[in-house]
Amino acid sequence: MIDTLAVVGATGAVGRIIVDMLVARKFPAKRIKLLASARSAGQPMQVGGATFDVEVLGPDSFRGVDIAIGSTPDEVAAEFVPWAVEQGTVVVDESAFYRMNPEVPLVIPEVNPEAIATHRGIIASPNCSTTQMVMVMKPLHDAARVTRVIVSTYQAVSGAGLAATRELEQATTAWLAREAEPRQIFPHPIAANLIPQIGSPRPNGFTSEEMKMVLETRKILGDESIAVSATCVRVPVANGHSESILIETEKKLTADEARRLLAAFPGIVVEDDLAAKRYPMPRPATGHDEVFVGRIREDISCPNGIALWCVSDNLRKGAATNAVQIAEYLAKHGLRPADTKAGRPVRA
């Protein structure tokens, strides 16, 4: 049991799910503290029959806070995380700001929980599209070593925030009525359309979202040799990211072997019966914490390839669930920041 856990960005789409999960999962904290910007602070939040007051985020917000989960934009994380660490708070950060910092572990608890013990006050949670892909890669990598991955994503608008979800709803209504569509979040109309750009352009022709999948995958699995090529596409789906993935391995795996490995891995559910039209889809996956995998088959274009399709609720396992799982691990194991001289964790 810890004294206090804080949620930073508690009124956002992911923040609200985090608070709800903490209550539903009976997180072992005597107190849960909610923090947000001045615009959102002061309003009460009703969660699981309990009422929480949202406080203004500031430099003194973390006094007496053991663990903080942050769900904020990068620029907010860059400012508040040092405040928290200075006060002795361990921060589980969902922004991209610290993910590629070599001193910050990037963690998916089912994949690399051992990395949590190396933290120095900050633990990063990966990008949502990376998380579900690496969950699928991990059991295959352990069994046959993944050498190359080609992935195309079909990413829901909820990944761009509450305003993006509203824009899809309003734009779809307008498109069906043949009226002018609102366009504030996306650079092109999102209703009945696909936008093959998520994030900013990079000099190599990829986008920032695509390069996150490349670099984060290698860091989490601890293997810089894995070749990753990603194409990230925004689709007119409210919630739930989908991915078409080709995984090449050093050792050949049959489809049945891959299916068994995936089914046995924690946090993965295999739904794979093409004849019965049974495979993962975003709507059924919404509200669940697992990564759903189907269409598992031996690729016909390369000898050691496994092709598959996976779907996950990007607001849950892709964000809120993963962060809460890390916080639960910290609360259970009592890990304080690693001793910078000895390089070993100091247990509470």
* Mean pLDDT in consecutive groups of 10 residues from the start of the chain, 348 residues: 94 93 94 90 80 92 97 96 96 98 98 96 98 98 98 97 96 98 96 98 98 98 98 98 98 98 98 98 98 98 97 97 98 74 39
The answer to whether residues 65 and 170 belong to one domain is: no
Output the pLDDT for position 134: 98
The answer to whether residues 56 and 195 belong to one domain is: no
Main-chain phi, psi angles of 320, to 5 degrees: -60, -50
DSSP classification of residue 57:
P
> How is residue 42 written in tokens?
């002061």
Output the pLDDT for position 334: 84
Which amino acid is located at 154 in the chain?
Y
The answer to whether residues 87 and 164 belong to one domain is: no
Class of residue 256 by CB neighbours under 10 A (exposed 0-12, middle 13-18, buried 19+): exposed
The pTM for the full model equals: 0.94
Helix, strand and coil content of the chain, in percent to the nearest 5, comes to: 30, 30, 40
Residue from 119, 128, 232, 310 carrying the catalytic annotation: 128
Does residue 44 lie within any of the structural domains? yes
> How is residue 62 written in tokens?
């973390």
Of 260, 230, 234, nearest to 245 (Cα)?
230
Output the pLDDT for position 338: 63
Residue from 119, 232, 241, 310 carrying the catalytic annotation: 241
Does residue 248 lie within any of the structural domains? yes
CATH classification at residue 158: 3.30.360.10
The answer to whether residues 159 and 227 belong to one domain is: yes
Instruction: Calculate the alpha carbon distances from 75 to 41, 95, 144, 202 in Å.
Output: 19, 9, 40, 20
The answer to whether residues 9 and 78 belong to one domain is: yes
**How many angstroms separate the CA atoms of 282 and 278, rounded?**
13
N- to C-terminal Cα distance for the chain?
A: 12
Q: How many domains does the chain have?
A: 2
Is residue 128 part of the annotated active site? The answer reads yes
The answer to whether residues 49 and 183 belong to one domain is: no
> How is residue 193 written in tokens?
């359309």
